[in-house]
Amino acid sequence: MWHEHDPEPKVRISEKWEPVFAGDHAQTRAHRLLSGMMNYSDASIGASTIAPFLSLEGVRKTYPGVVALDGFSMEVRPGEVIGLVGENGAGKSTLMKILGGVTTPDTGTITVDGVAHDGLTVEASIGSGIAFVHQELNLFENLDVAANIFFGREPLRAGPLKLVDRARLRALAAPLLKRVGANFSTDTPVSALSLAQQQMVEIAKALSIEARLVILDEPTSSLPLAETDKLLDVIKALKAEGISVIFISHRLHEVERVADRVVVLRDGMLAGTLPKSAINHDQMVKLMIGRMLKEREKAAESARPPGTVALSAKAIRTNAYPDRPVDLGVRHGEILGLAGLVGSGRTELARVLFGIEKSLGGALQLDGKDLVLGSAADAVANGIFLVPEDRKLTGILLDLSIAQNISLPNLPAHARRSLVSVRAEAATAEKQKSNLGIKAPSVATRTGTLSGGNQQKVVLAKWLAMNPKVMILDEPTRGIDIGAKAEIYGLMRALADAGVGVLMISSDMEEVIGVSDRIAVMHEGQISGILDKEQFSQENVLLLAVGKQPK
């Protein structure tokens, strides 16, 4: 979509394409083009029988010292769900920038409806019907749903006064919300929505610009299982309407559920393509990293039985659920998984255990001795460390070097006469860089330039340098590729084997079941049950998460 005063896009997607303005949404362009045609969700129709409307051929993009994409080719057909997978640094982000018109390839062609181009502009990408839903959602929380969907394209009234026509705005937004299966109204403030609901708003926004291809970048990374299922249903609905989807995710079981075809990137090149019949976890991993991966299974094999209780919470009450006391014990030498639905109180409990928030009641014990935490500094002094849910916001300082981040919690140990020794910082950091396999040119590298997996290793490194007794990890592998996940799992197991009590909060069901020694499940602020290994199943975790007893 574009405004009347905007220049005409450089790409024409078909002879039937015409400018669509904010007031022309009663029947979407996708519906007009598909009127009387096939239903693309029909499993009997092979994807190869439908001509691609978008293709890339021999696309190459280099940056100083780095080949981001090297001769990459792919096709997109109407109504097709393509799973795009690859480790961090494989070239996925560069590919998305090229499709979005943000970056121009050095060589290669992009063909839209039979017309070849050296590259797309942002305007041409939008005009071609390409829309993005990014991992970091781009919504205004102080506005309602309808205003977000049509921000900058609002229908106006009152002539020269150019007042927003609120009634028309809501009328335009309502059918878009219905198409994505939203259960909230157009005048709902975005601040009142869950993450999954906000992503529905982003998808509705994409539909409002007549998208033919919706690119979802890690859309489920912050979602629990129930809300993930809703989003995957939305993807199926888009497919049924003939809208193509590129689904980028590190959660390979979700890719397996929704993809008609999987495209695998490795080191900027096309590592392979898997048809529907060949899509499975092991084959995707093999193409992504060039080998089969069994580290998660190895990580789940404890080398020693758990010991005594390291950290004990008795009748702890949090600000989120002041009337719901929590009892929980983390043992030395175990990985205790903490599962539950969004809003169940897991993160709030972690903040109390780390001293960020004060408990409204109850008591804590560390190795059988009473523990009073007035601040996070008290927790650190007692060997209790937290790897937070949002590493970029609260886990590391992106503008500081690796060495500076690692030494930051323990500056006195790296200081002489109250002056921090750069040499001492570097020595500690070099040791942790080697132990954890942090991939960076040097410990002087700015942390913000690292991949998500290596940033997470830096967060771990700063605590491992201080000999933890209890390590709390909140969503430790969110946004991390499969290879880095395996390394994080290995580090967690090594901590447990060394006698550290590990509490892992995770919304990834496969991760909780595959890595934990025991699983505690929260429901509305309380521990609804604890599962031992022989009781592990998705069904049992979900039953406890909704307040029912496992089978």
Backbone φ, ψ for residue 121 (5° rounding):
-90, 170
Q: Check pLDDT > 90 for residue 245.
A: yes
Rounded CA-CA distance 349/524 in Å is 12
H or E segment to which residue 166 belongs: helix 166-179
pLDDT reported for residue 471 = 92
SS (H, E, C) 285-341: HHHHHCCCCCHHHHHCCCCCCCCCEEEEEEEECCCCCCCCCEEEEEECCCEEEEEEC
pLDDT at 222: 66
pLDDT above 90: residue 264? yes
d(CA 496, CA 469): 10
**Size of the chain in residues:** 551
pLDDT tens for each residue of 280-325:
888 888 888 765 445 444 444 544 577 899 999 999 999 889 999 9
Q: Given a cut of 50, is residue 9 above it in pLDDT? A: no
Secondary structure letter of residue 144 according to DSSP: B
pLDDT of residue 91: 87
More confident: 258 or 17: 258
12 close to 115: Cβ distance less than 8 angstroms? yes
Residue 362 has a pLDDT of 93
Type and span of the H or E element at 168: helix 166-179
The rounded distance, in Å, linking the Cα atoms of 105 and 319 is 51
Amino acid at 444: A
Q: Is the model more confident about 40 or about 309?
A: 309
Residues 6+ apart with CB under 8 A from 253: 281, 510
> What is the CATH number assigned to the segment(s) 306-383+468-551?
3.40.50.300
pLDDT, position 33 = 35
In which element (H, E) is residue 235 found? Answer: helix 225-240
Please give the pLDDT value at position 392: 74
Can you tell me which residue has the tokens 């093999």?
Answer: 286
User: Would you place residue 410 in the very low, low, confident or very high pLDDT band (cuts 50, 70, 90)?
Assistant: confident
Query: CA dist 114 to 10, 51, 152, 214, 263, Å?
Result: 14, 10, 31, 20, 22
Tokens 């560390």 -> residue: 366
Domain ranges in the chain are 306-383+468-551, 393-467
Q: Provide the 3-class DSSP secondary structure of residue 187.
A: coil
Reported for 424-428, long-range contacts at CB under 8 A and 24+ positions apart, including other chains, are: 428/403, 428/465
Q: Would the pLDDT of 185 be above 50?
A: yes
Q: What is the pLDDT of residue 301?
A: 52
Burial of 446 (0-12, 13-18, 19+ CB in 10 A): middle
Q: Take residue 336 and report the two structure tokens written for it.
A: 């205790």
Residue 142 has pLDDT above 70, yes or no: yes
Q: What is the DSSP string of 451-518?
A: -HHHHHHHHHHHHHTT--SEEEEESTTTT--HHHHHHHHHHHHHHHHTT-EEEEE-S-HHHHHHH-SE
Number of Cα atoms under 13 Å in the Cβ half of residue 198: 21
Collapsing DSSP states into helix, strand and coil, what is residue 446? Answer: strand
The pLDDT assigned to 206 comes to 83
**Helix, strand, coil share (%) of the chain residues, nearest 5:** 35, 25, 40
